[in-house]
Structure 1
Amino acid sequence: MNKQNRTRCYHLVKCIPTNSRRCIKIFYSLIICTVILYLFYDKSSSNLFKTLTKPLLSLSILTNNTRTIGSEIFEEWIRFATTDGNSTHLDVRTLSYPYYPRFPILSYTQDITKLNSASKLILLGNGFFENPSWDLISKERSSMETLWCPYLAKYCSITDDKSFFSDADAVVYHGRDPIDLKEANKYRQSHQRFVFTLWESPAHTDSLKPYDAFFNWTMTYRLSSDIVASYYSNAYFHSSSDYYQFLVRENAKKNLHLTFDRADHRPSDAVLQEKKLGTVVALISNLGGSSRRLTFIKHLKNYIDVTVYGKHTVPCPKQGDCVKFLAQNYYFYLSFENSLCQDYTTEKFFGILRHPIVPVVRGFSNYSTFIPPSGFIDVNDFPDVISLARYLNETRDNREKYLSYFSWKQDYVWNQGSLFTSFCDLCIRLHLDHKPKVIENIHSWWHDNMCRIPQRITLPKKSSK
């Protein structure tokens, strides 16, 4: 309101007799109190209540200066209506991350120091393979500390207590466990985010049609998800990134007990000399799967030595870390997924990146999104299995060529993490993303054209006699 309008309003109020102005004050007070009490006790109007009462609480309405009722209330309401009462927002311009992994991890790309101080509550709506707490609820540590993002402890908390259903800002449902739709529809609030989360591929997922127009956000390994929940449990980030610098400062200032490790970016001769058990190794527990990876390995064995570990094949050592043992004794690790689905990349790839072994990938992902192309070998780059086998043998025997696959790790550090570290990003998004959203067809988004049948394995042509 400009100065001229303020003056007009002031003179208009001045013309009202004193007794009349007092009656107007009382009248307005009664109306405002009635509206506030109604909104306070009506849960469906809780969001509206928060929006309307903020300007009222910030102003001294019932003062001798009657002008406040006219101009300043109006200005305050306009300000809160246009900002939704929140100065923070999701900065989509910074979602692209200049380092690897190059997908929108909000912890890496958003300014965490500008989050709203009000804590958000995340409810686990169902179990994770029948585990109601997902192993995230602890009496000794906060949920965010369990997830290795203790710097978010004051911004979010996680519970599996259904008595807080209506109070939760987000309700997370695991797509492989039963969802109580009756309970959800009974207690759901308009401001809540229902989150679909899953780490299994569509090839191993039932129909999601009962949940169309039910979810607001997705939290899966797929890069088009609202929160990317990749298998990067052993979180790695560039030592020059803003995120790493932030963690170092927070760790020193608040004693968060965070530890950072560096992977060996140039394995020594001693490390290479320990690789005596063979050239290529795989760790496979599930002998099934639609990717036909065992068929591929069977053909590959005709041209290079390959050892397959797992509960149905060669057993891992009873003591120690099996992946660490394999990395110490072999040159190449077959990171073959059980299904070829869009972006489906599991611990078979991410779990070995910090170890001195080169991943050989076979999946339906752009692996150069996760690490530089110089850090892995893709079977799709070879016309047939014999060409792949020949390249692996040549690389093993060429010391400098083999070591070049580790050079990218020089500038990266590894932090502790878990499969559920994506809850940290969910916490951040709850603070920053206020746009309404409903996923009308979650079944189509998850299933349609997301998996492919493996191509026929190309074998070398037999020479004619």
Structure 2
Amino acid sequence: MKMQDEDCRTERFRSPVKTPLQWIILIAVLAAILYVFTWDEATASPPKPFGQIVHPNNTSNVKEKDTVLLIWFIPFGRKTQLKSCATEFRIEGCCLTDDRNAYLDADGVLLHHRDIARDMSNLPRLPRPVFQKWIWMLFESPHNSQKIPGLDDLFNVTMSYRADADILVREQLNPKSQGSEDLVPLEAKSKMVCWVVSNWNENYARVKYYRELKNHIEVELFGSHAGRRLSSEEYIAMMKSCKFYLSFENTLQCSDHVAVDYMTEKVYNPLRFGVVPVVLGPPRSSYEKFIPKDAFIHVDDFNTPKELANYLHMLNKDDEKYLQFFGWRKHFIVTKVDFPLEHACRACQYIRQRKGFQVFKNLSKWYWG
């Protein structure tokens, strides 16, 4: 009797024979469930559109030897059209994608610091494959970027404006293909000192310096603070009409680590348009890593703003001495950076060339001091 009961129970839970159609439906349902759970594990949030991808999100189309770089965040939420790294920068063998389902196959993951949640909840949830490199990217100053606990030993590679970063990406002076000098037309310069400023704070060192400087030389202000917003065309025309430009950063170096090498387009734009930048920011030695020492004027070279003003007045009257600041233009040209496409391509190039094991320790100490 007991044996009969056991047979009944066994028979009761035995699966009935399924037709081919039932097997197809069952397999489809199981595949859908598996996909949902796999996707939820691998991503902290749904993928966001990043514009045109070089390769389709289906990584089966990627060539066997291609290096796959997964762009985890849209930097600052900007939408951009991605183009071929080979076409734009002559970087071959790179596949850029924003498809987070490709996480386990990606050779590298590019993570923009300013988009990382403070609790790191929007980072990949799955463990990092041993072959994969995480690239930490930040181009804002430490003063304007929050320090996030837990990131110190998380990344393999750093990308920044700093000269000691693994991947250095910044506007810079590159050799010209031709040796002809790009002359600066003095007749077009109707203004002495110009400054475009929007972020105005009375506590900033640059504002305090300006308030003293303007007592000794005329400074023509532009930007939202002055109620004189400029279009792109107006900005270029304004630049070309000025002899000097106040390339004042809103962040100063306070130690050997904080704001090291931090300089923005504020210094490179004047150089591009034939203006002498008057810089306030990192020490002269930081600027000289990237710019010829006789291409700019540093406020630290003068004891007071009045001394600087006197020097600018002297240069304004001596064309020969003024034009000496542009000797570099015979050999170099200022190149812009295509953000974020160039950053992604440079990151892909780096990990393509360096497949060995790599770690980076103490990110907070290195960047924030």
**Which of 237, 244, 250 is the aligned partner of 2:174?**
237
Report the counterpart of residue 345 of structure 1 in structure 2: 263
Preserved CA contact (<8 Å) 1:266 1:403: no
**Which of 162, 166, 178 is the aligned partner of 2:104?**
166
- In the TM superposition, residue 172 of structure 1 has moved relative to its aligned partner by 0.8
**Which of 373, 396, 418 is the aligned partner of 2:316?**
396
* 1:444 maps onto 2:361 in alignment: no
Q: Cα deviation per residue 1:232-280 (whole Å; 9 max; x = unaligned)?
A: 0xx54113xxxx6xxxxxxxxxxxxxxxx9996332xxx322222x311
User: For residue 159 of structure 1, what is the amino acid of its counterpart?
Assistant: T
* 1:358 maps onto 2:276 in alignment: yes
CA distance in 2 between counterparts of 1:206 and 1:445 reads 14
* Aligned pairs (5 A) from 1:62-461: 118-131=65-78, 135-137=80-82, 141-143=83-85, 145=87, 148-149=88-89, 151-152=90-91, 154-179=92-117, 181=121, 184-230=124-170, 232=171, 236-239=173-176, 265-267=182-184, 271-276=185-190, 278-288=191-201, 291-318=204-231, 320-340=232-252, 341-365=259-283, 366-414=286-334, 417-420=337-340, 421-448=342-369
Preserved CA contact (<8 Å) 1:196 1:219: yes
User: For residue 279 of structure 2, what is the amino acid of its counterpart?
Assistant: V
- In the TM superposition, residue 314 of structure 1 has moved relative to its aligned partner by 4.1
Preserved CA contact (<8 Å) 1:208 1:442: no
User: For residue 329 of structure 1, what is the amino acid of its counterpart?
Assistant: S
Q: Secondary structure of 2:271's partner? A: coil
User: For residue 182 of structure 2, what is the amino acid of its counterpart?
Assistant: H
- In the TM superposition, residue 324 of structure 1 has moved relative to its aligned partner by 1.5
CA distance in 2 between counterparts of 1:279 and 1:378 reads 17
Preserved CA contact (<8 Å) 2:198 2:224: yes
Q: Secondary structure of 2:95's partner? A: strand
Q: Cα deviation per residue 1:322-361 (whole Å; 9 max; x = unaligned)?
A: 4312222211011111101211010101222221211111
Q: Cα deviation per residue 1:347-401 (whole Å; 9 max; x = unaligned)?
A: 1012222212111111115211112111111111111111100001101110000
CA distance in 2 between counterparts of 1:307 and 1:213 reads 47
User: For residue 221 of structure 2, what is the amino acid of its counterpart?
Assistant: V
Instruction: Determine what percentage of the aligned residue pairs are the same residue.
Output: 29
CA distance in 2 between counterparts of 1:419 and 1:263 reads 29
User: For residue 242 of structure 2, what is the amino acid of its counterpart?
Assistant: Y
Q: Secondary structure of 2:69's partner? A: strand
Report the counterpart of residue 256 of structure 2 in structure 1: none
Q: Structure 1 residues 402 and 216, CA, compared in 2 at 3 Å: closer, same or farther?
A: same
- In the TM superposition, residue 223 of structure 1 has moved relative to its aligned partner by 1.2
CA distance in 2 between counterparts of 1:188 and 1:381 reads 49
Q: Cα deviation per residue 1:110-141 (whole Å; 9 max; x = unaligned)?
A: xxxxxxx922111111231134xx5253xxx4
- In the TM superposition, residue 283 of structure 1 has moved relative to its aligned partner by 1.2
Ranges in structure 2 where 5+ consecutive residues have no aligned partner: 1-63, 253-258
- In the TM superposition, residue 439 of structure 1 has moved relative to its aligned partner by 2.4
CA distance in 1 between counterparts of 2:66 and 2:204 reads 44
- In the TM superposition, residue 171 of structure 1 has moved relative to its aligned partner by 0.6
Q: Cα deviation per residue 1:54-111 (whole Å; 9 max; x = unaligned)?
A: xxxxxxxxxxxxxxxxxxxxxxxxxxxxxxxxxxxxxxxxxxxxxxxxxxxxxxxxxx
Q: Cα deviation per residue 1:138-179 (whole Å; 9 max; x = unaligned)?
A: xxx42554xx31x11x32121111111111111111111135
Report the counterpart of residue 58 of structure 1 in structure 2: none
Q: Structure 1 residues 164 and 262, CA, compared in 2 at 3 Å: closer, same or farther?
A: farther
CA distance in 2 between counterparts of 1:288 and 1:322 reads 25
Ranges in structure 1 where 5+ consecutive residues have no aligned partner: 1-116, 245-260, 449-465
CA distance in 2 between counterparts of 1:377 and 1:273 reads 22
Q: Structure 1 residues 181 and 187, CA, compared in 2 at 3 Å: closer, same or farther?
A: farther
Preserved CA contact (<8 Å) 1:212 1:441: yes
Select the structure that is richer in helix.
1
Give TM-score, length-normalised by structure 1. Answer: 0.59
Q: Structure 1 residues 262 and 423, CA, compared in 2 at 3 Å: closer, same or farther?
A: farther
